[in-house]
Amino acid sequence: MTIFRPLSAIVVALLLAACAPPGGKQLTSLLPHRRVAASPSVRPSITISPSSAPARPPGSIEAFVPEAERFVEAHRGLSFMLPVKVNHLSDAAFAQRIAELQAKDHADLDREAKLLRALDLVQPGVDVEKAEEALLSGAVIGYYDPATKELVVRGDTASAAVRHVVVHELTHALQDQWFDLQAHQKNLTEDQGEAYSALVEGDAVSVENAYIASLSPAEKSEIDSQSGGGVPADVPPVLIRILSFPYSVGPRFVVALRGSQGQSALDQAFRTPPQASALVIHPDRFLGGEAPKPVGEPGADGPIFDKGVWGEFGLNLMLNDLYGNPGVSPGDLQAATSGWGGDSYVAWTSGAQYCMRLSYASRDDQGAASLQRMLATWARKHGAQTDGLSLTRCG
């Protein structure tokens, strides 16, 4: 669940379509930078009546940027402090830049893969890094880099399929100028990273979707025509859910913030970000000032390679495959996950295996009972051990 990895609008549209568990039910990472196409489950916070005009001829990205900046300012309620540098690269140069970004992620992806393997979320032998490369290869359109403060785009043709991505990425640039995105990314736990990603991406998706809503039917069709295809068969489902999380949950979180206290609530969330995925999954808890319960770090039985907070989203990832199990109802799973109050995990190596121990706290006694029962059910299925609200597994 690494922060700041590039994803294209097309790839994320596919991910959102693929991330629901069997039966269509679903339990309720800032990336340079993931993008999302319009999704039926994500409503733009500001709707503009679409034009009936045909698609306009594509101009240059550089010429479109001032128009896009004005759109972002109008819909986000903030003004750019400085012009955003645009760096449009050839296909080869852009591919090289993406490869360099992915190389910087190697250590995080390796750690993430070990955690997923420890919890039986990916099988031994699955190369998580290659699976992500399979999703991203050739599909990334552009990204905003908070380190260089530039918008990096493949090519210089501002087709409709490119323009909405530019709007999304310029929203990140505006966020960065006002709220210093890098400053909030330091020393985040897995769960804090997911929560912050949901805030940042949810905001950008809301502005992007407002832009898509303003396009002509022909332009929308152009965008839709580039969202076809499918997710590669060798990509683990859990990776799809991880990559999709900020885009599926973040916009709903942003809508809830604006619905409570308007734009000021959204701005304040950037100044004091949510500290847990549970707070973006349940916006009322964030708005009510709720905080995760502190949980003591569990002991390890070997050399530690990671520790932190796994979060409600991580718990969702684990319990997701219990859907349809005998004696387990969707209500049981919802009670267990929504009752998450806090956790702490430690991960260590044991020979050729990776192990993880999680200790949970629940919001109340009823949630604790549901969580304990679902953890025990999951443990029986995956060869883990439980002790009350503690779970240990090696794999």
What's the rounded Cα separation, in Å, for the pair 162 and 178? Answer: 25
> Contact at 8 Å (CB) between 149 and 257?
no
Say what the pLDDT of residue 14 is: 54
Q: Could you report the per-residue pLDDT of 347-363, keeping only the tens digit for each? A: 999 999 999 999 999 99
Q: Could you report the per-residue pLDDT of 309-348, keeping only the tens digit for each? A: 999 999 999 999 998 899 899 999 999 999 999 999 999 9
Phi, psi of 228 (to 5 degrees): -80, -170
Say what the pLDDT of residue 343 is: 98
pLDDT tier, 232 (very low <50, low <70, confident <90, very high otherwise)? confident
Q: Domain residue spans in the chain?
A: 9-274, 304-394
> Residue 263 above 80 pLDDT?
yes
Mean pLDDT within 256-276: 96
User: Among positive and negative, which fits the CA dihedral 162, 104, 231, 37?
Assistant: negative
pLDDT tier, 101 (very low <50, low <70, confident <90, very high otherwise)? confident
Q: Could you report the per-residue pLDDT of 164-186, keeping only the tens digit for each? A: 999 999 999 999 999 999 998 88
What's the rounded Cα separation, in Å, for the pair 128 and 239? Answer: 8
> Residue 277 above 80 pLDDT?
yes
State the chain's mean pLDDT as an integer: 86
What amino acid is encoded at 339 in this protein? G
Residue environment code for 139-151, b if the CB has 16+ CB neighbours within 10 A, otherwise e = bbbbbbbbeeeeb
Say what the pLDDT of residue 17 is: 55
Say what the pLDDT of residue 95 is: 86
The pair of three-digit structure tokens given for residue 34, joined into one six-digit string: 């993931």
pLDDT tier, 231 (very low <50, low <70, confident <90, very high otherwise)? confident
> Contact at 8 Å (CB) between 84 and 149?
yes
Say what the pLDDT of residue 138 is: 66
Long-range Cβ pairs for the range 284-289 (8 Å, 24+): 284/256, 286/253, 286/257, 287/256, 287/257, 287/260
Distance, C-alpha 243 to centroid of its chain: 5
- Report the range out of 43-47, 243-247, 365-369, 385-389 with the highest average pLDDT: 385-389
